[in-house]
């Protein structure tokens, strides 16, 4: 047999007997992987005269791109908004544990905090590739403190800030550094927010609109200055009104610059958004929907008292409240649960549900050339799932990093 080593000595793995999510459809074909990337089999056969070194029978599983969570506050007892001595160990623990939820990349999210917390925590968040150690880190999501007092949700009011003269310098002084920052959520109705949005966008940082009382024209202006995302649509913003639909109106606005797409996060846990509201948003703007968990430290833990940044929260089933109130404070749902709930609530196709947690967040962050798809030459971060969309195995860079233990079943 001709050698397949003309290009690389690395082994070639062929995943067969599977349905691959590619070009928005489940296609019955094999997946070929080498050196952490997805191979084009035609090039392998005809240019290299190559073949597989290892063949894996996927037993008719679905193979989909790994999930990308762009809003996760912590989990398993770890709170990303707490400056602890073992912060790095905490972020490592969460990145390891979320592999079982199908998450292969994420943005650790900090809720509104005092400047001292940002100054201590942000230098400890390093962008890194995923692997057996855990999901990859794409950069931090800073949700606040430049948000509306009226729509603060679970954010501590005493830490909220407004933009003063020299607004961007004020933001820099608050955060200390933007080196590892991927997303900033702010309220666009704040004075001087336009210049901040432009400065952040110039630096390649995604600006998200949220925790806000903005009307539609303020939201549209923010998008015209570079904002591309809406933080947990419907939650912590003015409710839709037919005469001024507010931020929600961006989903069907005709004032979006040509060639620009506005994305919006949704916490599809059955609690934060009524299934009917989820259906309305999805039908209005299906290509912009990004599933997020908004998970807090209590995800994966027993009900009871936990933290979210500076606040104490209580978990009661899937509900999480600021202690002593009925104010929702993040979620304890996992990403795979959100995908299944989204598919069930909207009746959308399996492909659509999977892309809302993979392709769309990758497009939002401008990394769809390497993440969020199974296109040739992209990173081999993918999942094996059954027809009910339960994760059976998680792969990063073509290596198995988690598998469902079926020994006891």
Each residue's pLDDT tens digit, 374-385: 999 999 999 999
In the predicted model, is pLDDT for residue 407 greater than 80? no
232 annotated to a ligand binding site: yes
Which residues are 75's β-sheet partners? 78
Quote the tokens at residue 121.
């925590």
| Predicted pLDDT at 409 | 41
143 annotated to a ligand binding site: yes
How, if at all, do strands 78-79 and 103-111 pair? unpaired
Q: Which residues contact 81 (CB under 8 A, 6 or more apart)?
A: 73, 74, 110, 111, 113, 117, 121, 308, 309, 310
**CATH 3.40.50.10190, applies to 12-64+373-403:** no
In the predicted model, is pLDDT for residue 45 greater than 90? no
| Predicted pLDDT at 3 | 46
24 annotated to a ligand binding site: no
329 annotated to a ligand binding site: yes
Active-site residue numbers?
294
Question: Which CATH number applies to 66-365: 2.40.420.20, 1.10.287.3610, 3.30.530.20, 3.20.20.140?
Answer: 3.20.20.140
Confidence (pTM): 0.96
| Predicted pLDDT at 8 | 74
Euclidean distance between CA atoms 112 and 154, whole angstroms: 9
Which residues are 295's β-sheet partners? 72, 331
What confidence tier does 318 reach under pLDDT thresholds 50, 70, 90?
confident
Identify the residue with better confidence: 308 or 248. 248
Q: What angle do CA 209, 180, 362 make, to 5 degrees?
A: 60
211 annotated to a ligand binding site: yes
Cα 247 to Cα 34, 102, 250, 294, 392, distances in angstroms: 44, 30, 6, 19, 38
95 annotated to a ligand binding site: no
How, if at all, do strands 12-22 and 54-65 pair? parallel
The average confidence (pLDDT) of the chain is 95
Q: Which residues contact 9 (CB under 8 A, 6 or more apart)?
A: none
The tens digit of pLDDT for each residue in 47-83 reads 877 888 999 999 999 999 999 999 999 999 999 999 9
235 annotated to a ligand binding site: yes
The percent of residues in the chain predicted with pLDDT above 90, rounded, is 89
The tens digit of pLDDT for each residue in 192-218 reads 999 999 999 999 999 999 999 999 999
Cα 268 vs. chain centroid, distance in angstroms?
A: 12
In the predicted model, is pLDDT for residue 350 greater than 60? yes
Enumerate the domain spans of the chain. 12-64+373-403, 66-365
| Predicted pLDDT at 7 | 62
Euclidean distance between CA atoms 226 and 252, whole angstroms: 17
């Amino acid at each position: 047999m001709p050698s397949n080593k003309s290009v690389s000595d690395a082994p070639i793995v062929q995943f067969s007997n599977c349905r691959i999510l590619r070009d928005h459809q489940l296609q019955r074909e094999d997946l070929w992987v080498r050196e952490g990337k997805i191979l084009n089999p035609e090039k392998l056969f005809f240019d290299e005269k190559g073949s597989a070194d290892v063949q894996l029978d996927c037993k008719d599983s679905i193979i989909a791109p790994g999930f990308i969570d762009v809003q996760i506050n912590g989990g398993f007892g770890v709170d990303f908004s707490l400056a602890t001595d073992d912060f790095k160990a905490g972020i490592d623990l969460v990145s390891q544990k979320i592999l079982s939820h199908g998450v292969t990349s994420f943005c650790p999210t900090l809720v509104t905090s005092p400047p001292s917390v940002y100054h201590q925590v942000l230098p400890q968040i390093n962008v890194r590739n995923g692997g057996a150690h855990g999901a990859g880190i794409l950069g931090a999501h800073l949700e606040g403190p430049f948000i509306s007092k009226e729509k603060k949700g679970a954010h501590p009011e005493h830490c909220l800030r407004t933009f003063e003269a020299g607004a961007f310098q004020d933001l820099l002084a608050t955060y200390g550094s933007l080196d590892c920052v991927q997303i900033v959520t702010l309220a666009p109705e704040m004075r001087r927010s336009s210049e901040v949005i432009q400065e952040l966008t110039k630096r390649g940082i995604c600006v998200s609109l949220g925790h806000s009382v903005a009307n539609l024209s303020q939201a549209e202006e923010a998008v015209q200055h570079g904002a591309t995302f809406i933080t947990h649509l419907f939650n912590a913003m003015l409710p839709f009104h037919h005469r001024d639909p507010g931020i929600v109106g961006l989903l069907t606005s005709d004032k979006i610059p040509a060639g620009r797409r506005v994305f919006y996060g949704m916490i599809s846990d059955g609690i934060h958004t009524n299934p009917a509201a989820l259906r309305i948003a999805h039908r209005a703007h299906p290509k912009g929907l990004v599933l997020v968990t908004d998970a807090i430290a209590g995800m994966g833990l027993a009900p009871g008292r936990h933290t979210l940044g500076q606040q104490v929260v209580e978990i009661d089933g899937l509900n999480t409240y600021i202690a002593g109130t009925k104010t929702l404070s993040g979620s304890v749902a996992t990403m795979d649960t959100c995908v299944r709930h989204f598919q069930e609530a909207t009746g959308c196709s399996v492909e659509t549900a999977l892309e809302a947690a993979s392709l769309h967040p990758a497009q939002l962050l401008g990394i769809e050339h390497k993440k969020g798809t199974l296109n040739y030459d992209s990173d081999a971060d993918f999942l094996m799932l059954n027809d009910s969309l339960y994760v059976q195995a998680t792969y990063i860079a073509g290596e198995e990093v988690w598998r469902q233990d079926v020994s006891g079943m």
